[in-house]
Amino acid sequence: MDRAQLQQLAELRVQDAEALLTVSRWDAAYYLLGYAIECALKACVAKQFRLHEVPDKELVNSFYTHSFDRLLAISGVKSNLEIRRKVDTRYEAVTNSATGILPWLKTQW
């Protein structure tokens, strides 16, 4: 899977979450929004990989995780992360164009 596919997968999972929210499937929507963030962070990590260059083994091994903390640490965006304004819903925290984490992550990938 390449960086563009991870970006697309993040977008698709947000669309899936939107569909679930319309039918009040909150838990499933929340799960998919978490998956979208994971894919977005992995797209940020993939940005570090270079063609014709052997990547650092620790970075590659760390890539295969579901831990947000670990992915945030290796993504290269942790040092750029600003304290974000608290928003009302989990969905808004992920997708809001002004305050959500996913739009901000897109600027990093």
Domain that holds residue 42: 3-108
pLDDT band at 20 (very low <50, low <70, confident <90, very high): very high
Residue-wise pLDDT tens digits, 88-103: 466 677 777 877 788 8
Within 8 A by CB and 6+ apart from 48, the residues are 55, 59, 76
Which one, of 92, 85, 94, 107, lies nearest residue 35 by Cα? 94
Domain total in the chain: 1
Residue-wise pLDDT tens digits, 47-91: 888 888 887 888 888 888 888 888 888 887 766 554 444 444 666
**pLDDT, position 19:** 95
